[in-house]
Amino acid sequence: MGLAKPIDQYTQTEAAAAAQELRQTLAEYSEAYYTKDAPVVEDHVYDELYRDLETLEAAFPIIVTNDSPTQKVGDQVLPGFKKVTHEVPMLSMGDVFSEEELATFDNRLQKNVEHAIEYNVELKIDGLAIDLIYEKGQFVRGATRGNGTIGEDITQNLKTIKAIPQTLTKPVSIEVRGECYMPKASFAALNEKREAEGQPPFANPRNAAAGSLRQLDAKIAAERNLSAFMYTIVTFDDVQATTQYEALEVLAELGFNVNPTAEVCHNMTEVKTFIERYQATRDDLEYGIDGVVLKVNDLALQRQLGNTVKVPRWEIAYKFPPEEAATIVRDIEWTIGRTGVVTPTAVMDPVQLAGTTVARASLHNADMLRDKDVRLLDTVLLHKAGDIIPEISQVVLAKRPADSQPYVIPTECPSCGHELVHLDEEVALRCINPMCPAQVKEQLTHFASRNAMNIDGLGPRIIAQLLDQGLVHDVADLYRLTADQLAQLDKFKEKSINNLLNAIEASRQNSLERLLFGLGIRHVGAKAARLLAEHFLTMEALMASDQEEIMSVDTIGETIADSLATYFADDQVQTLIRELAEVQVNLTYTGVTKAQAENSDSYFNGKTVVLTGKLSQYTRGELKQQLEDNGAKVTGSVSKKTDILIAGEDAGSKLTKAQALEIPIINEADLDSYLAQ
Ligand code: IVH
């Protein structure tokens, strides 16, 4: 990042072009951050590009456009919420990234003021700004900042937050602002839950808080364990405070949650001490902070200094540099995935980084490893991508040992010794030996997994032992296992032996699509497997079919057809299928065919159904399948075309919408009787 060359070497045309490109990139990042609550880059990357744009626009004011992010306050208003207008606009805040810039800010203010300026210094909480209105001591309205003038009415969601009082200690009318945030512990727990449910994790607490407040269903916000600190009095008839520090005291007296760390600083040395203290201890706080905020303490002086179009002149945010930690690379491990992709991971001396101990970081692929030129015994700087995933930012070349040699990327598979190749244009290195033990282990794990053959109790640990002891070599061998053999496994007693044998036995009867998916054929996911099984009905028919017929199946294209052709042309694959038949694994489709579903006399036949909320008796996939077997079409969003909404627990916006459209709603508890109809 940074501009391509010094600013004084730009022509106006070049500057205009560079600025336009930056605006486009910034708009994309901003959209991801604000509207989708899912940032695609770290904050500091955005900040640096923004500054580049500012530099260009400052040097060539004529290139500034109205839609430039430098001319707007930010955020966006989402549809779905009632809009509110902020009588007093919610401005944003200027920011600086170094102590020199902070000194410049102070000097500029100090020039216009006779006495030494006092600052109230506060932590910059990593959440999102909210605005609260109380009438006669009662909470009546809460809103997001939105675009600064128009925000979203999120009163119902804010009412679920304990730190926001419903009733103040005095019956006063007041408008206040502050920060709503998700405590780190809640954030970690929420992401764990989301990952377990197959939902994407939130990138950071700020996005998690924003995502929670933007739920149309207040029940979801309530579950999310949010909190809030208030820091600004906007309008208050009975203001007794003359300084920002006193304003915080007034807020606390009225019953608001106020961050206790604020301090009045009398000079920049005190400010620096404050910054250093919290930079060092930020990981110990139970909420995330991304800097500190300096506010001119004297409220009269604040008014006198006033605002620019965008930001108050009397306050500034000092943003912490991105959290980094240095450590030493001890090893580079290569793991082999199910499809043979070989991925490098740096193994390092453990270090503390943004609250966790980090000892491993993925290097993604051989090209990245080569580009970063990471070598054994190199000192590297780590950061957390999206605040969570440890990544190597760069090698500290000054600390590279004198006798260091470039890391030699393996040309042979670390597991089986087979030559590694780049397929097509792939960046990934692959081991293409189908008998590679590391791949076989991953394949067996996939074969046994829930959406494939669903063999309960056959996880990676057991599979590793079965392979090590030579008890299985491929998936067909699983069906030849005996109780005596399983007894050789570590801590395997009668009960576990029986359970596993029963689970394996039961899987023999699975319908063809599970086997097709379980075989791990490139590009054939669970959905394609099901379509293929439904169409061809037997493995034999599928193997005998030609490309054309495969591509005639709904949504199946050339990539899948090619992949199947390559797969079934392989001698080893043909042997494996024969063996599976020998061990009596079912090779036919036993589910309901499309034609049968269409003729079903089920209640659901021909209806368009949407699922929402948490289901307890079914997984979503199972229920969807069952409904489709009954002739229903299952879609993702509620519209006028929806015939039925099936609502599990904690259903949110889809439920609200279905109610508004008067679409019949079936609760999960009543589902069985409908399915039986
Ligand atoms: S005062 C609505 N004080 O930082 C503007 N802001 O980068 C209020 N923030 O939009 C500015 N902690 O969401 C202020 N102690 C604090 C803050 C704080 C966090 C946020 C706020 C603002 C953003 C600007």
Task: Give pLDDT, residue 168.
Answer: 95
CA of 164 to the centre of ligand 1 (A): 17
Q: Of all protein residues, whose CA lies closest to atom 16 belonging to ligand 1? A: 124
Task: Give pLDDT, residue 385.
Answer: 59
**What digits encode the pLDDT tens for the residues 139-151?**
999 999 988 999 9
**What digits encode the pLDDT tens for the residues 575-585?**
999 999 999 99
Measured in whole angstroms, the distance separating CA 126 from the mean position of its chain's CA atoms is 17
**What digits encode the pLDDT tens for the residues 374-430?**
999 999 999 875 455 688 988 999 999 999 999 999 999 999 999 999 877 777 788
> At residue 319, does pLDDT exceed 50?
yes
Q: Which range among 43-52, 122-131, 201-210 shows the weakest confidence by mean pLDDT?
A: 201-210
Q: Which range among 168-172, 468-472, 523-527 shows the weakest confidence by mean pLDDT?
A: 523-527
Q: What is the DSSP string of 213-248?
A: HT-SSHHHHHHT--EEEEEEEEEETT---SBHHHHH
Q: Which range among 188-202, 326-340, 354-368, 528-542 shows the weakest confidence by mean pLDDT?
A: 188-202
> At residue 44, does pLDDT exceed 60?
yes
Q: Of all protein residues, whose CA lies closest to atom 21 belonging to ligand 1? A: 129
Atom of ligand 1 nearest to the CA of 129: 13
Q: Which range among 28-37, 197-206, 448-457 shows the weakest confidence by mean pLDDT?
A: 197-206
CA of 30 to the centre of ligand 1 (A): 17
Residues with active-site annotation:
124
- 133 contact partners, CB below 8 Å, separation of at least 6: 139, 140, 141, 142, 174, 175
* Cβ of 125 less than 6 Å from ligand 1: yes
Contact 420, 342 (CB under 8 A): yes
Task: Give pLDDT, residue 359.
Answer: 94
User: pLDDT category, 201, cuts 50, 70, 90?
Assistant: low
Contact 346, 395 (CB under 8 A): no
Mean pLDDT across 353-380? 89
Task: Give pLDDT, residue 353.
Answer: 86
Nearest Cα to 446, choosing from 500, 501, 524, 539?
A: 524
Mean pLDDT across 319-328? 88
> At residue 236, does pLDDT exceed 60?
yes
Task: Give pLDDT, residue 74.
Answer: 42
* Cβ of 209 less than 6 Å from ligand 1: no
> At residue 660, does pLDDT exceed 80?
yes
User: pLDDT category, 357, cuts 50, 70, 90?
Assistant: confident
The token pair that represents 113 in the structure block: 């003021």
The token pair that represents 48 in the structure block: 């640096």
d(CA 61, CA 54): 10
Mean pLDDT across 266-295? 92
CA of 94 to the centre of ligand 1 (A): 10
* Cβ of 375 less than 6 Å from ligand 1: no
CA of 480 to the centre of ligand 1 (A): 65
User: pLDDT category, 675, cuts 50, 70, 90?
Assistant: confident
Q: Of all protein residues, whose CA lies closest to atom 7 belonging to ligand 1? A: 93
CA of 446 to the centre of ligand 1 (A): 47
Atom of ligand 1 nearest to the CA of 131: 2
Q: Of all protein residues, whose CA lies closest to atom 5 belonging to ligand 1? A: 92
> Which DSSP category does 31 fall into?
I
d(CA 105, CA 98): 11
Atom of ligand 1 nearest to the CA of 128: 13
* Cβ of 537 less than 6 Å from ligand 1: no
Measured in whole angstroms, the distance separating CA 527 from the mean position of its chain's CA atoms is 24
* Cβ of 177 less than 6 Å from ligand 1: yes
CA of 123 to the centre of ligand 1 (A): 9
Phi/psi class of residue 417: alpha, beta or left (left: φ > 0; alpha: ψ in -120 to 50)? left
**What digits encode the pLDDT tens for the residues 596-651?**
888 888 889 889 999 988 888 888 888 888 898 888 999 888 888 999 999 988 88
Which has the higher per-residue pLDDT, 34 or 525? 525
**214-228, 236-250, 256-270, 655-669: which has the highest mean pLDDT?**
256-270
* Cβ of 535 less than 6 Å from ligand 1: no
> At residue 255, does pLDDT exceed 70?
yes
Percentage of the chain surpassing pLDDT 90?
55
Average pLDDT of every residue of the chain:
89
* Cβ of 126 less than 6 Å from ligand 1: no
**What digits encode the pLDDT tens for the residues 3-22?**
888 888 999 889 999 999 99
Atom of ligand 1 nearest to the CA of 232: 1
**Could you tell which of 72, 93, 120, 227 is best to mutate to test the pocket of ligand 1, judged by most ligand atoms within 8 Å of the CB?**
93
- Using CB atoms within 10 A of its CB, is residue 516 exposed (0-12), middle (13-18) or buried (19+)? buried
> At residue 73, does pLDDT exceed 50?
no
The token pair that represents 20 in the structure block: 């336009």
* Cβ of 416 less than 6 Å from ligand 1: no
